[in-house]
């Protein structure tokens, strides 16, 4: 048992007061031997046992009543893990609350609250009981810490509202520990309100080592409380638009949309999706099997004069409203965003990339001086970036296959639905492979006939492709000229043609090169992060790069229907209208949650202990059922003790009543 007023327990010796009074009372009258009275005492000796027991019971009850009064004044708590040092909370300790506002935290629990609200309610109730008044909030949708005036303030709409951006828990935890260290706070409680999704906890972040070191430096005076939400059996569905483009069948121009629906169970279901463009709603049924369903190029009629349209796709509300909508924009001049990495300058690839899309990532410096760790992607565009493929839809790579960090980045890019097409180096290294595919020997001996789809063409030189691929183009000698493989949700393409020599027949013809590049680009499922789309939260770092210097702040034309949504610009999903500096016409930008927010994988506590060895996590379960108390993780039980005090006093009064005199028979 723990107490809010530990000082009151210093008065526990007062429980001896009834015993002391009893002893003094017994010595109040001296005992004098008297023969006549001794006879009467012997006569009453047989009836003395019951009276003596009653006196001992009265003494015990009085002692227990005094002890209970002292315990009640000490304000005992029902849970000991938070009250071991509870007396420190109201006076000297700092309370840190780390809030995860990500879409996964908007999943509703049994009592109807979202996980975010249920967690904040439990934390607020606990802090109110403990008397905490120094609360600092680190919010996943805010760039700085927030001083909170009271525990009740945590339940205000500004903190309970939802955001559509992902959380970066390692950054928040690191900032919180730096805050404690900078302010010399050695006694503190750190509460982490999160559902431990892998996308938000980023187990591969470099900050975990720093977090562990800071926790060791702060010492055992800082306690870390991690919320845990009970597993539920409710089924959630999420929707995403993976592609939106103009199509013209000769009679009218229409919008073609590819929609993906995923469910977190493997049962078959039909999910109706509503597509709204220009105030007109169309409905399409999507068959979901084994948790995944897709409708490709669903045609939506639009006004013929519109060069720029926007809309949304929604599915019926379910347990998590944060992933039931997706927003999109389509412009007449919209181009796919490409990454171009070459170890040898290739004019053919540069020109084709500019024609078929827009190069947003480039590393075309000649030479192959990349170490085994792989750094071509990290130093693209002349600067080092953590995630260089974040804005790329299709990667065009010429040279030795990526290795080290580059290979990890490309593999993750493909797993998420991107596409990449690889062309061979001038000198192939058969020991380097990617997805079990290697470059073989160059054949420069003679011209050969090759086929691609229904086209036949001449090729002067090519590098063989070793590995299991789906054959797309072959030579008359049955050599694989082009092929592809599936990698996660994406596709890796391989072409053994020479794209370095400007006089090569393959480059001069150009038809097959452009056709192959076009298919590779169109196969990318990452169109939602195209030139007119952003992941929620990216405007914090990339606003200038997206809309230019001096642009107006922008306003939402569409946003998520949840009225309790977070209002900070860029952290709420919707269609944003911004006006670049010096232009009269505004630009539409679609903002959506990260597709990884739909993933269900959690980080277990054992992994957290391994990542941050200096932190001893106190895992607490949030009560989410309909009858659960909303008072927090601890409750004062002084009411029960006062009830016991009253019962004890009544018992003492009953025992003190004089015994009834026995009736004598006549």
**Residues 266, 264: Cα–Cα separation, whole Å:** 7
> What per-residue confidence (pLDDT) applies to 564?
53
**Residues 55, 30: Cα–Cα separation, whole Å:** 19
Which are the contacts of 52, defined by CB distance < 8 A and separation ≥ 6?
none
223 versus 56: which is more confidently predicted? 223
**Residues 622, 314: Cα–Cα separation, whole Å:** 30
pLDDT tens readout for residues 13-33: 666 666 666 666 666 666 666
583 versus 339: which is more confidently predicted? 339
Assign 323 to helix, strand or coil: helix
What's the half-sphere exposure (Cβ side, CA atoms, 13 Å) at 141?
A: 25
Q: With 80 as the cut, is the pLDDT of residue 90 above it?
A: no
Distances (CA, A) of 40 to 30, 34, 37, 240, 366: 18, 10, 5, 99, 122
Is-same-fold flag (86-233+603-636; 336-528)?
Answer: yes
Which are the contacts of 246, defined by CB distance < 8 A and separation ≥ 6?
253, 254, 255, 256, 330, 332
In this prediction, residues 272-297 reach a mean pLDDT of 91
Provide DSSP, 14-78. GGGHHHHHHHHHHTSS-----HHHHHHHHHHGGGHHHHHHHHHHHHHHHHHHHHHHHHHHT-EES
Q: With 90 as the cut, is the pLDDT of residue 51 above it?
A: no
Using pLDDT thresholds of 50, 70 and 90, give the confidence band for residue 585: low
**Residues 526, 417: Cα–Cα separation, whole Å:** 6
> What per-residue confidence (pLDDT) applies to 44?
60
Residue corresponding to tokens 């009411």 = 639
Which are the contacts of 482, defined by CB distance < 8 A and separation ≥ 6?
452, 465, 471, 472, 473, 493, 494, 495, 496, 497, 516
Q: Report domain extents, the chain.
A: 2-78+639-656, 86-233+603-636, 235-318, 336-528
**Residues 599, 266: Cα–Cα separation, whole Å:** 14
Rg (CA), the chain: 37
> What per-residue confidence (pLDDT) applies to 28?
61
In this prediction, residues 424-442 reach a mean pLDDT of 88
Using pLDDT thresholds of 50, 70 and 90, give the confidence band for residue 125: confident
pLDDT tens readout for residues 135-177: 999 999 887 899 988 888 898 888 888 889 889 999 999 999 9
> What per-residue confidence (pLDDT) applies to 210?
92
Query: Please, what's the b/e burial string for 94-125 (b: 16 or more CB within 10 A of its CB; e: otherwise)?
Result: bbbbbbbbbbbbbbbbeeebbbbbbbbbbbbb
**Residues 482, 269: Cα–Cα separation, whole Å:** 38
> % helix / strand / coil in the chain, to the nearest 5?
30, 30, 40
Supply the DSSP symbol for 105: G
Using pLDDT thresholds of 50, 70 and 90, give the confidence band for residue 370: very low
> What per-residue confidence (pLDDT) applies to 306?
66
- What is the sign of the dihedral through the CA atoms of 571, 573, 574 and 580? positive
The full length of the chain comes to 666
**C-alpha angle 212/217/220, rounded to 5°?**
90
- Please name the helix (run of DSSP H) or strand (run of DSSP E) that holds residue 577, with its range, or none: strand 574-578
Supply the DSSP symbol for 541: H
195 versus 45: which is more confidently predicted? 195
Q: Confirm or reject CATH 3.40.50.410 for domain 86-233+603-636, answering yes or no.
A: yes
Distances (CA, A) of 576 to 558, 586, 591: 7, 10, 7
In this prediction, residues 69-77 reach a mean pLDDT of 65
In this prediction, residues 576-601 reach a mean pLDDT of 76
Percent of the chain topping pLDDT 70: 73
Global pTM value: 0.64
Six token digits for residue 216: 């060791």
Q: How many CB atoms lie within 10 A of CB 160?
A: 18
Residue 193 phi/psi, 5-degree rounding, is -95, 90
**Residues 480, 554: Cα–Cα separation, whole Å:** 51
Six token digits for residue 253: 């121009």
Distances (CA, A) of 319 to 264, 298, 578: 11, 26, 33
Which are the contacts of 318, defined by CB distance < 8 A and separation ≥ 6?
234, 235, 236, 237, 324
Closest CA to 425 of 500, 331, 350: 500
Percent of the chain topping pLDDT 90: 24
**Residues 313, 476: Cα–Cα separation, whole Å:** 48
CATH architecture for residues 336-528:
3-Layer(aba) Sandwich (3.40)
């Amino acid at each position: 048992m723990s107490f809010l007023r530990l000082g009151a327990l210093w008065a526990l010796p007062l429980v001896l007061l009834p015993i002391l009074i009893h002893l003094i009372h017994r010595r109040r009258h001296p005992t004098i031997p008297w023969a006549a009275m001794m006879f009467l005492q012997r006569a009453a000796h047989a009836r003395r046992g019951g009276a003596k027991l009653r006196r001992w019971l009265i003494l015990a009850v009085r002692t227990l009543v005094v002890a209970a009064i002292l315990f009640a004044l000490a304000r005992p708590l029902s849970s000991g893990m938070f009250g071991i040092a509870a007396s420190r909370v109201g006076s000297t300790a700092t309370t840190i609350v780390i809030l995860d506002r990500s879409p996964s935290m908007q999943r509703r629990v049994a009592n109807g609250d979202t996980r975010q609200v249920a967690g904040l309610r439990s934390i607020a109730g606990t802090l109110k009981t403990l008397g905490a008044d120094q609360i600092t909030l680190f919010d996943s949708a805010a760039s700085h810490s927030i001083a909170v005036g009271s525990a009740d303030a945590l339940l205000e709409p500004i903190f309970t509202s939802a955001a559509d951006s992902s959380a970066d828990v390692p950054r928040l935890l690191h900032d919180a520990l730096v805050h404690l260290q900078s302010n010399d706070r050695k006694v503190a409680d750190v509460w982490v309100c999160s559902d431990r999704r892998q996308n938000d906890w980023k187990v591969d972040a470099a900050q975990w080592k720093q977090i562990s070191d800071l926790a060791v430096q702060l010492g055992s005076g800082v306690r870390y409380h991690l919320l845990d939400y009970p597993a539920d059996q409710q089924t959630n569905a999420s929707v995403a638009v993976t592609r939106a483009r103009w199509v013209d069948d000769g009679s009218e121009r229409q919008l073609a949309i590819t929609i993906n629906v995923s469910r977190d169970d493997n049962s078959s279901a039909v999910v109706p999706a509503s597509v709204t463009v220009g105030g007109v709603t169309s409905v399409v049924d999507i068959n979901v099997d084994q948790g995944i369903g897709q409708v490709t190029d669903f045609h939506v009629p639009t006004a013929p004069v519109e060069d720029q349209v926007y809309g949304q796709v929604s599915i019926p509300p379910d347990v998590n409203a944060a992933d039931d909508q997706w927003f999109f924009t389509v412009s007449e001049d919209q181009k796919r965003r490409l990454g171009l990495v070459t170890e040898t300058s290739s004019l053919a690839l540069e020109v084709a990339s500019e024609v078929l899309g827009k190069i947003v990532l480039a590393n075309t410096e000649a030479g192959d001086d990349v170490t085994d760790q792989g750094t071509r992607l990290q130093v693209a565009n002349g600067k080092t970036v953590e995630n260089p493929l974040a804005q790329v839809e299709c990667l065009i790579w010429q040279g030795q296959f990526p290795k080290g960090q580059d290979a990890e980045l490309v593999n993750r890019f493909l797993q998420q639905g991107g596409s990449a097409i690889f062309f061979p180096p001038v000198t192939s290294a058969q020991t380097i492979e990617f997805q079990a595919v290697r470059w073989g020997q160059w054949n420069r001996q003679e011209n050969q006939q090759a086929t691609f789809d229904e086209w036949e063409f001449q090729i002067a030189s090519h590098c063989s492709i070793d590995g299991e691929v789906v054959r797309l183009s072959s030579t008359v000698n049955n050599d694989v000229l082009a092929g592809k493989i599936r990698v996660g949700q994406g596709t890796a393409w391989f072409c053994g043609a020479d794209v370095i020599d400007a006089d090569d027949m393959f480059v001069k013809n150009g038809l097959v090169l452009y056709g192959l590049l076009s298919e590779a680009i169109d196969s990318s499922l990452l169109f939602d992060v195209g030139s007119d789309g952003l992941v929620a939260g990216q405007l914090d770092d990339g606003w200038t790069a997206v809309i230019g210097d001096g642009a107006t702040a922008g306003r939402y034309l569409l946003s998520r229907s949840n009225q309790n949504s977070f209002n900070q610009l860029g952290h709420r999903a919707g269609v944003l209208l911004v006006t670049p500096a010096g232009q009269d016409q505004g630009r539409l930008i679609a903002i959506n949650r990260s597709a990884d927010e739909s993933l269900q994988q959690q980080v277990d506590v054992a992994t957290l202990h391994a990542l941050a060895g200096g932190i001893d996590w106190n895992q607490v379960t949030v009560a989410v059922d309909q009858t659960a108390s909303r008072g927090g993780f601890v409750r004062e039980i002084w009411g029960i003790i006062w009830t016991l005090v009253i019962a004890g006093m009544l018992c003492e009064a009953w025992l003190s009543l004089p015994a009834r005199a026995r009736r004598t028979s006549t």
